Amino acid sequence: MSPPLLTVDNLAVEFHSGGQTVRAVDGISFSIEKGESFALVGESGSGKTVTALSVLRLLTAGGRITQGRALLDGVDLFGLSERDMCRLRGSKVGIVFQDPMTFLNPVLSIGRQVAEVLALHNHLRGKALHSRVLALLEQVGLPEPAQRYNAYPHQLSGGQRQRVMIAIALAGEPDLLIADEPTTALDVTLQAQILRLLKDLQRQTGMALWLITHDLGVVAQIAERVAVMQSGRLVEQASLSTFFDHPQHPYTQNLLAALPSIEHCGRPASPTTTSNASVGYAQRTLHGFTGTEPDATALTVARPLLQVTDYCVYYPVRKGVFQRVVDHVKAVDGVSFALEPGATLALVGESGCGKTSLGKAMLGLIPSHGGEIRFDGTNIADLQGEARRRLCANMQIVFQDPYSSMNPRLTVGDIVAEGLDALYPRLDKTERRERVERLLLQVGLTVAARLRYPHEFSGGQRQRICIARALAVEPKLLVCDEPTSALDVSVQAQIIRLLRQLQEEHGLSYLFISHDLAVVAELAHRVAVMYQGKVVEMGEARQVLLTPRHEYTRRLLEAAPRCRVPG
Amino acid sequence: MIQYLIRRLLYAVPLLIGVNLLTFLLFFVVNSPDDMARMQLGQKHVTQEAVEKWKHERGYDLPLFWNDKAQGAAHLGQTIFYQKSVNLMLFRFGQSDTGRNIVNDIQERMWPSLAISVPSAIFGVTVNISLALLVVFFRRTYLEFWSMVLCVILMSISSLFYIIGGQFVIAKLLQLVPISGYSDGLGAIKFIILPILIGVVSGIGSGVRWYRAIFLEEAEKDYVRTARAKGLSDVQVLFRHVLRNALIPILTGVVVLIPFLFMGSLLTESFFSIPGLGSYTIDAINRQDFAIVRSMVYLGSVLYVVGLLLTDISYTLADPRVRLS
């Protein structure tokens, strides 16, 4: 057997900041064979990216490799001079980073950014350089590369940018391609395309692929061997099939158990009709689903909490010297649906389909352009001032990114209390505190959390704070705008559990906006699929997710990664 | 782009009218022509006739906005507002209170101002950026720490000290250049070297710190890591990637100042006896020559509007993401 391409031996990395030393990577060893695809899996903060960066010696300030070796083709990477290391980066090892928007230089054309690598390592110039860049862009499937040579990153879509990023990594014809969360910032459909591309490229070039991800669905599609990382250590290494079928380590078992899955969808269409049926449905789905006819009540339910009719949200297109509005981009174009008390309606679709615009406009955060919203039978447009504010307080929103949706200068207690102050301006201090504490306990936080600041909490805890903040106003409807997509799998599962529990206890209704069909399957009673501002399919979760009728829904479902070992 | 420029120029019209009105209020309503005359002629031993005569000679005896005694259009025309402010708006600055033609004066005196301010600005920006890049290259070393200490010290020294200290050491002790003065043509070079040098040196402290902050912010961005992963060395990354991106915030700070080069520097020009626009303004203030001060205030405002427009245009050149529309 030939020696492995990359051997990492007992690697440890420490970070110093503010007088504290954190061990990010704690003595890990693994190897990657030539031409193999290897996946390093773990939650955020487990040290996966740090491992990859330290192999390339690209750690940020404060990071230091304290022990261990990394051998690439027998060359000790940590013993090389910086000059030799520069020669090796890009030519022997290419890397694809997570967010193609921030990892591309915004002021250089994409052609130049790819060309830079070729000029540096292959000493290509002039016409030869230009045509090689075009060939690369073509290879990664960028449409019309010749026209796009001089385009800037912001002029491309997310998927196209990631293709450029891959072209940059491939330009030096590396033996090892590191892909650090290559699809996390992308939509499901794009994700599938990029994964297929990486796999094809690997087959064409015979390079080894080192995939770093937290998404087990991605792992199942692309990896041959898997290693699991938890707080700086490797807890398990196995082949793909062993990993999914017989996970050894408890952490891995939990990780797999926490996975949301489309097959889980089994919540009844109406919580009032069958509240104890979730187990039954789960069993039924196992034996093949016995479908009912399409849900005719999707548009009209008996006593809707929320009735949205022909709703439109347009963004104006302005032109000319006086910036007159000449046209509109129809983000939401005539959407109608109804939501009953205690039910969950999921809005799914790719980014840009208008689902977030719809949620924001319903709460009055952005202006709408037609249609009507009835909440509890009252047309919101009829109300003004205080009455309208009172009514709108019944609708609250939880945003996608718990990092940026809270004021970092307020304590958690004050953030939660803001809603209380609006609802009960005359609350005295002790009662206010008690209510805040009750809310924090409700979402699974401790009472002490009240006095701390948002940055002291992890992503999942922050999302809990956001939910507590929304609940403080005692809403009947919660609009959840991708509440779990910024979170790790296991944390995602906790938040889903919390949302279900709150719904059972308080009879909350959810409008759940998401692109993640597996999460939707766990939560939704009813699903509406949005495409280019319109609802193309709506019905019970089981029907839409298991027996989709519309072409677009089928495409979405096919693209969604599943944790099943192929074959 | 063209449409944007037209719109911006149209925006400038109400802006300039506003500036003009404010200038008018400041110079004729808050400070009445009578006050001006008395300041010129003295407070005690002045007859009302002398004041009236002074005002009449300069056209300050007219009513402010509305002339009852005149006929037709002259109702509006024969007023201080029309005669002074509208002309100001059209850059017809007229005569100074001492009877000189202001436009001619400005045309004559702007060249000495430019001779000092343009080289100071060019050398200043070049030196500051180079030093800042050097500091960023040696980041997280003692060199960076001590250069920042030095910058704070340089910033803390008053610019008066640089001027007087420079004149004392270089001109008086070493006698390399004349202490002050100016002459036309190539002879001016020996007079402007010292003011330029002092202009550059006194700006280093704050300049290097500012540029360093901008470079450091860019150097921490994600695309820098991509560039390093391509195999570029630190220096290559700094020049090919960081510098280009850092230009965007730098442009905002620098381009807006370009029109002001024309106005000269009040301090430097009066200390070095340079017959530029800066000393022109200072002298006018000292002489209470409101016609000149009014013109320079208005000119300054116009240049500021121009500066902001230039900044916006330069953005589109440096940043492909910005398209003016």
Whether A166 and chain B come into contact, CB under 8 Å, resolves to: no
What's residue A63's pLDDT?
A: 85
- Measured in angstroms, the CA of A110 and the nearest CA of chain B are apart by 12
A chain contacts of residue B321, beta-carbon cutoff 8 Å: 106-107, 152, 154
> Do A524 and A345 touch, CB atoms closer than 8 A?
yes
**B256 CA to chain A: closest CA distance, Å?**
22
Query: How far is residue A264 from each of residues A253, A345, B313, measured CA to CA in Å?
Result: 18, 16, 56
What is the nearest CA distance from B245 to chain A, expressed in angstroms?
A: 7
The pLDDT assigned to A564 comes to: 46
Residue numbers of chain B with a pLDDT score lower than 50? none
| Closest among B105, B270, B118 to B181, alpha carbons compared | B270
Residue A477 CA neighbour count, 13 Å, CB half: 26
State the DSSP string of A384-400.
-HHHHHHHHTTEEEE-S
Q: Is A410 on the interface with B (CB under 8 A)?
A: no
CB contact under 8 A, B223 and A58: no
Rounded to whole angstroms, the Cα distance separating A241 from A565 reads 6
Q: Do the chains contact at B229 and A95, CB–CB below 8 Å? A: yes
Helix (H, G, I), strand (E, B) or coil at A415: helix
Please report residues of A whose CB lies closer than 8 A to that of B314: none
Task: Confirm whether B212 is domain-assigned.
Answer: yes
Edge-first strand order for the sheet with A324-339 is A324-339, A306-319, A372-375, A378-379
Inter-chain contacts counted by CB atoms under 8 A, chains A and B: 86
* DSSP conformational letter for A28: E
- The verdict on residue B182 lying in a domain is yes
Give the residue from chain A lying closest to B2, CA to CA: A321
| A467-506 exposure pattern, b = at least 16 Cβ within 10 A, e = fewer | bbbbbbbbbbbbbbbbbbebbbbbbbbbbbebbbebbeee
Cα→Cα distances B44→A35, A118, A351, B289, Å: 100, 85, 80, 20
- Chain B contact present for A234, CB below 8 A: no
A105, B321: Cβ pair inside 8 Å? no
Distance from CA of A104 to the nearest CA of B (A): 5
**What are the helix (H) ranges across chain B?**
2-24, 33-41, 48-58, 74-77, 80, 87-89, 102-137, 142-156, 159-166, 189-219, 222-229, 234-237, 243-255, 266-271, 277-286, 290-318
Residue B172 lies in a domain: yes
A312 near A333, Cβ under 8 Å?
Answer: yes
For residues A394 and A419, the answer to whether their CB atoms sit within 8 Å is no
Nearest to B308 by CA among B8, B34, B14: B8
Q: How many CB atoms lie within 10 A of CB A216?
A: 24
B151 within a domain of the structure (yes/no): yes
Q: Nearest 10 degrees: CA dihedral of A411, A416, A417, A422?
A: 130
pLDDT computed for residue A105 by the predictor: 92
Q: Answer whether A449's CB lies under 8 Å from A466's CB.
A: no
Q: CB contact, 8 Å: A302 with chain B?
A: no
Averages of pLDDT over runs of 10 residues in chain A (567 residues) are 87 83 89 93 84 90 88 91 92 88 90 93 90 92 88 86 92 92 79 87 92 86 90 90 88 82 61 37 33 41 81 82 77 88 89 83 85 86 83 86 83 88 83 90 86 82 88 89 79 86 90 86 89 88 87 85 49
Residue B80 is assigned to a structural domain of this protein? no
Q: Which residue among A105, A172, A320 sits closest to B227, beta carbon to beta carbon?
A: A105
Chain A hits for B248, Cβ within 8 Å: 107
A524 in B contact zone (CB under 8 Å): no
Query: Between chains, do A90 and B233 touch, taking CB under 8 Å as contact?
Result: no
Quick check: A370 and A312 in contact, CB under 8 A?
yes
Looking at this protein, which amino acid is placed at residue A282?
Answer: A
How close does chain B come to A97, measured CA to CA in Å? Answer: 8
Residue A561: exposed, middle, or buried by beta-carbon count in 10 A (0-12, 13-18, 19+)?
Answer: buried
As a whole number of angstroms, the distance between CA A122 and CA A513 comes to 47
Rounded-to-integer distance, Cα A7 and Cα A30, Å: 6
Chain A residues in contact with B320 (beta carbon < 8 A) = 106-107, 109, 152, 154
The distance of B162 to chain A (nearest Cα, Å) reads 38
B321–A82 CB contact, under 8 Å: no
pLDDT in the model for residue A301: 55
Provide the β-strand partners of residue A25.
Answer: A13
Whether B172 has its CB under 8 Å from any CB of chain A: the answer is no
Phi and psi torsions of B180, nearest 5°? -155, 175
Q: What pLDDT sits at residue A183?
A: 82
B244 touches chain A (CB under 8 A): yes
Q: Which amino acid is at B305?
A: V
Cα–Cα distance for residue pair A403/A446, rounded to 1 Å = 19
Is the Cβ of B8 closer than 8 Å to some Cβ of chain A? no
Mutation test of the interface with chain A: which of B223, B237, B244, B324, choosing the one with the most A Cβ atoms within 10 A? B223
Reduced to 3 states, what is the DSSP secondary structure of residue B304?
A: helix
Q: What pLDDT is recorded for position B230?
A: 92
And the tokens for A564? 């099943």
In a domain, B57, yes or no: no
Is B222–A90 a contact, with Cβ atoms under 8 angstroms apart?
no
Residue B82 CB contacts under 8 Å (≥ 6 apart), including other chains: B76
Query: Is B230 in CB contact (< 8 Å) with chain A?
Result: yes
Number of Cβ within a 10 Å radius of residue A259? 18
Query: With an 8 Å Cβ cutoff, are B231 and A105 in contact?
Result: no
State the pTM of this model.
Answer: 0.77
Mark yes or no for CB contact A89/B230 under 8 Å: yes
- Domain extent, residue B147, equals 108-246
Decide if B187 is inside a domain: yes
Chain B residues with beta carbon closer than 8 angstroms to that of A107: 244-245, 248, 318-321
For residues A530 and A355, is the Cβ–Cβ distance under 8 A? yes
A94–B248 CB contact, under 8 Å: no
CA of A90 vs chain B CAs: smallest distance (Å): 4
Chain A residue with minimal CA distance to B220?
A60
Closest chain A residue to B3 measured between Cα atoms? A321
Check A103 against B7: CB less than 8 A apart.
no
- Residue A333 backbone class (left: φ over 0; alpha: ψ -120 to 50; beta: rest): beta
Q: How far does B307 lie from chain A, in Å, by closest CA?
A: 21
In order of B130, B140, B147, B149, the CA distances from B152 in angstroms are: 18, 18, 9, 5
Our count of domains for chain B comes to 1
Calpha distance A331→A349 (Å, rounded): 13
Judge whether B85 lies within some domain. no
